[in-house]
Amino acid sequence: MSISNETIEKIRRSNCATDDTFFQAVEEVLESIKPVLDSDPIYERHSIVDRLTTPDREFKFKVVWMDDNQNIQVNTGYRVQFNNALGPYKGGLRFHPSVNSGILKFLGFEQIFKNSLTGLPIGGGKGGSDFDPKGKSDFEIMKFCSSFMTELHKYIGPRIDVPAGDIGVGAREIGYLFGEYKKITSSYEGILTGKPYMFGGSLMRPEATGYGCVYFTDEMLKFAGKDGFKDRICTVSGAGNVALHTIEKLYALGAKPVTCTDSRGTIYDSRGVNLELLKELKLVRRASLEEYCTVHSEAIYTKVEDYPQGGHEVWNIPCDCAFPSATQNELTKVDAQNLVDNGCISVSEGANMPSTPTAIQIIQDNGVLFAPAKAANAGGVAVSEFEMSQNASMTKWTYEKVDKMLEQTMRAICKRVHLTAEEYGVAGNYVDGANIAGFKKVADAMIAEGI
């Protein structure tokens, strides 16, 4: 069976016209798995493509809360339970004004394959709200999280669906959500991951996605016969959880990360970015990156609006290895060409789908190593599953143990993706390798479980 335009059209018809990021993700996967579908009719016989591209269920609900000025505010909450062939639904909650059902379907769909690649017993889901945490007081965040959980608690459970954090949802929000769940249900169970350590969180969860992305890239460089990170110049976008821990691990392995970005601009510090200052600005004070230059006047700050359309300053800075770690579609074809022209040897996606399809094509056509998000950023969900295991067995693992398991998991994913690409005649193509390896495991489980 090959993927016809008819299949794509059918998927478009059964979703909203505005679900473009979802269609983008589906088309990429379907293109990659063509050889698997063509080589074995069993997948067509079991309608696996139709079943895999349709979420098991989607919840949409009203979230009403009161702000500090006693005004009543209304937001929309969502949870998409996409596929649980391999285990309970698992995937983060995103609080950002851009959140809608299309974005969450894209993220939930990607999560199925990512979770499959980890080799751990977890299915795929995603959720969130169009609530914007920026500029809100702690009390307002708490009120919103409480109201959000009064609805969400109906759909989740340690063996059903275990959400985690994502953009706009860190340990603070997870703490408030957990507290409300406990209050409503009188039950102390591991229904969320990314919890603070003092009440059931795993050590290393905050670091996991960024560290994992660097471990993955280190392994990918080795497979390509290239030396590791020592003295390599790296560019990183984002200044949140993923970006800051990517920078931290890059320093630990001897690299020099020289950039980071937020939604307003880019910092370029050719001597290597000051991680302590970044943590203070973004994690503690939640301030703009522009303030970095008040301490380091030699660094260059470029506002988003001061950079020509179609590209981003951060990808125009010469580097050996690039780590897009902010948001979807932040690396365009102009950026990809700049990276290639400046001699970049690898691009690793810390964020979910940060590169546009054309950008990926340019990167791969020019022999630059490319690590897709569903493989490279799987470290976060892997450690989330470790947190579920610790909660279920009422134990606490050491930092060293979790780090070692994370590193082994990421190197094993890289090997699986690499070997799968070789097996299907597309050696070095980590996009196809990841999609095929992720797909086969889920599809075979779906067939074994019946309809």
Positions that interact with ligand NDP (CB under 6 A): 165-168, 209, 237-243, 261-264, 325-327, 330, 350-352, 377, 380
Q: How far is the CB of 312 from ligand NDP (least distance, A)?
A: 7
- Cα distances from 166 to residues 296, 316, 341, in angstroms, run 30, 27, 33
Strand-pair partners of 60: 78
Q: What DSSP state is assigned to residue 202?
A: P
Q: Which amino acid is at 132?
A: D
CA torsion sign, 224 to 230 to 233 to 234?
A: positive
Q: Residue 408 and residue 202: Cα distance in Å, rounded? A: 17
Q: How far is the CB of 450 from ligand NDP (least distance, A)?
A: 31
Relative to beta strand 265-268, strand 259-261 is antiparallel
202 touches 389 (CB < 8 A): no
Q: What's the distance, CA 86 to chain centroid?
A: 19
Q: Residue 90 and residue 92: Cα distance in Å, rounded? A: 7
Q: How far is the CB of 287 from ligand NDP (least distance, A)?
A: 9
Residues 6+ apart with CB under 8 A from 374: 110, 113, 114, 117, 434, 435, 438
Q: Which runs of consecutive H residues, i.e. helices, occur in 366-398?
A: 373-376, 379-393
213 touches 372 (CB < 8 A): no
Closest alpha carbon to 314 in 289, 287, 284, 296: 289
Q: How far is the CB of 261 from ligand NDP (least distance, A)?
A: 4
Place of tokens 């016989």: 45
Closest alpha carbon to 91 in 116, 54, 74: 116
Instruction: Identify which of residues 49 and 239 has a Cβ nearer to ligand NDP in the complex.
Output: 239
Instruction: Identify which of residues 239 and 375 has a Cβ nearer to ligand NDP in the complex.
Output: 239
Q: Residue 63 and residue 144: Cα distance in Å, rounded? A: 7
Q: How far is the CB of 350 from ligand NDP (least distance, A)?
A: 6
Q: How far is the CB of 267 from ligand NDP (least distance, A)?
A: 11
Instruction: Identify which of residues 36 and 249 has a Cβ nearer to ligand NDP in the complex.
Output: 249
Catalytic residues: 126
Q: What's the distance, CA 242 to chain centroid?
A: 9
What backbone phi and psi angles, to 5 degrees, belong to 168?
Answer: 80, 0
Three-class SS state of 71? coil
Q: Residue 287 and residue 295: Cα distance in Å, rounded? A: 14
Q: Residue 182 and residue 186: Cα distance in Å, rounded? A: 5
Q: How far is the CB of 232 from ligand NDP (least distance, A)?
A: 22
Instruction: Identify which of residues 220 and 376 has a Cβ nearer to ligand NDP in the complex.
Output: 376
Which helix H or strand E contains 223, and what residues bound it? helix 205-223
Burial grade of 186 (CB within 10 A; 0-12, 13-18, 19 or more): exposed
Q: How far is the CB of 162 from ligand NDP (least distance, A)?
A: 14
